[in-house]
Amino acid sequence: MAETPVPATLADVPRERWPQHIAIIMDGNGRWARQRRLPRMEGHRAGRDSVERVLEVVEDLGLKQVTLYAFSHENWSRPQDEIDSLMKLYRRNLVAERRRITEKNARFINIGRRDKLPAAVLKEVETNERLGAENTGPVLCLAVNYGGRQEIVDAARSLARDAAAGTLDPETIDEATFASRLYTAGQSDPDLLIRTGGEMRVSNFLLWQISYTELYVTDVLWPDFQKEDLYRAMADYARRQRRFGGLSPDDVR
């Protein structure tokens, strides 16, 4: 199979400095639609095309994982017709993604509380997860009805249940034990978190997992986000020194 050429923006960036797991807060669909005097849902539909572009990059460059914030725990407070249309868009999209799972050897994971998801969406989520369960290619992780605080509460509850049942000694709980009860159990933490739409906040996304993640905020609205914008974020990441609370080799002299 022919190798995909490395885009010019990344040509001088050694591959080992590329982020392997990218998480994205896809913001700005509503503003994009408003600028064009279109209904908000048109912004979400255009946002779907940006998702496709990002997935193509992940596949073409052989990245390990992308995690997309599609619907937050707080998004239920939006008008019901927007919620219904978004859920329909996700359902259609989950069905369409099946081809990618098979052809690209991709894995699909959904994170978030599942109890509130419409049955039709949950059915497609579970089908996709089953279909890609043994696949070893890129991981597409979709956060739907996701909240970082809720995830931490759910993990605490699960540990407390085991402690109360006498199957877990509270003194043995460490970071790894805790992480194993999160929705993201078994996944690596994101290297890079991109937020589009310019807001400087993390909005209850992956609170535990982004402790040492590099942040990149761009004013570009999500439907306008091009492959080139992703390459730029990756190149910016590659220039940074990740120290994880320690010192860089230059400082140790």
Residues interacting with ligand FPP, by CB under 6 A?
A: 26-31, 44, 47-48, 51, 68, 70, 75, 89-90, 93, 142, 197, 222
Q: For residue 168, which amino acid is it?
A: L
For residue 183, which of 141, 132, 213, 211 has the smallest C-alpha distance? 141
Q: How far is the CB of 178 from ligand FPP (least distance, A)?
A: 28
Q: Which of 12, 29, 60, 75 is catalytic?
A: 75
At 109 the three-state DSSP class reads strand
Torsion angle of the four alpha carbons 85, 86, 88, 89, in this order, in degrees rounded to the nearest 10? 120
For residue 227, which of 3, 4, 2 has the smallest C-alpha distance? 4
C-beta closer to ligand FPP: residue 51 or 58 = 51
In angstroms, the CA 1 to CA 18 distance is: 22
Q: What is the largest CA-CA distance in the chain?
A: 61
Q: How far is the CB of 207 from ligand FPP (least distance, A)?
A: 18
> Which position's Cβ is nearest ligand FPP?
30
Gyration radius from the chain CA atoms: 19
Q: How far is the CB of 76 from ligand FPP (least distance, A)?
A: 11
Q: How far is the CB of 59 from ligand FPP (least distance, A)?
A: 16
Residue 27 appears among annotated catalytic residues: yes
Quick one: how far is CA 185 from the chain centroid? 14
C-beta closer to ligand FPP: residue 91 or 238 = 91
C-beta closer to ligand FPP: residue 10 or 26 = 26
C-beta closer to ligand FPP: residue 20 or 93 = 93
In angstroms, the CA 242 to CA 238 distance is: 9
Which residues carry out catalysis? 27, 75
